[in-house]
Amino acid sequence: MKVIDISDYSENLDWNAIAQSEDGVIIKISEGRTPAELFDMHFSDAKAAEMQWGCYCLSHAHTTERATEEADRVIEKLQSLEEPPLYIWFDIEPELSDSLDAEDLTAIASAFVSECNSFGYQCGIYGNYSTLNKLNTNELADYVPYWCAEPGNSYCHFKDENPGLNVKVWQYEFDNADYGGPVDKNEWWGE
């Protein structure tokens, strides 16, 4: 399944073209505890285009408490909407990953995922190859899905190297402008 992900930088998108070429969209819902400015517009456009959708929180959490607060902000927003069929994603960017050791990074990701799961939402972890390899994945539940950013590769190394993990998504291209604004392109496996 072909899926794009978009953020507040993805303005003036051609949703007709997106709906003809893509199967789904994962929309930035928040950055830390701050709502994404364009989430409502992107969500409405995705629904009007009859797209499957998911959302992600770009995290700023350095503690498990803060990760839980970030999850709670996402959950508050989603309670007036349907459950996202393409999940909630906890986005760990390199700056956050590089500032934490593996134990703390794993605990923070686990706190976010667990909080979302406790409200009945499916939730996964997004990161680049080195970030996901830094996580102590053996300390996370087997069902936790992963979304690996490995643009420019011909396949997802993280998935091939971790056949026991639930790797759902491979981000293979950043900042594609085919649809009028920058979008990232992804391959979704399963379901």
CA distance 11 to 172: 21
In the chain, DSSP finds a helix count (H) and a strand count (E) of: 7, 9
CA distance 19 to 123: 24
| 20-35: average pLDDT | 98
CA distance 49 to 38: 16
Supply the range of the domain harboring residue 108. 2-188
Q: Distance of alpha carbon 133 from its chain centroid, rounded?
A: 17
Please tell me the total number of residues recorded for the chain in this structure: 191
| Confidence class for position 190, pLDDT limits 50, 70, 90 | confident
CA distance 148 to 36: 22
The DSSP result for 144-155, as a single string, is -EEEEE-TT-SS
pLDDT at 151 over 90: yes
Number of Cβ atoms within 10 Å of the Cβ of 6:
25
- What is the tally of structural domains in the chain? 1
pLDDT of residue 14: 97
Here the CATH number for the domain that contains residue 128 is 3.20.20.80
Model pLDDT for residues 100-117, shown as the tens digit of each residue: 999 999 999 999 999 999
pLDDT of residue 191: 59
Model pLDDT for residues 63-94, shown as the tens digit of each residue: 999 999 999 999 999 999 989 999 999 999 99
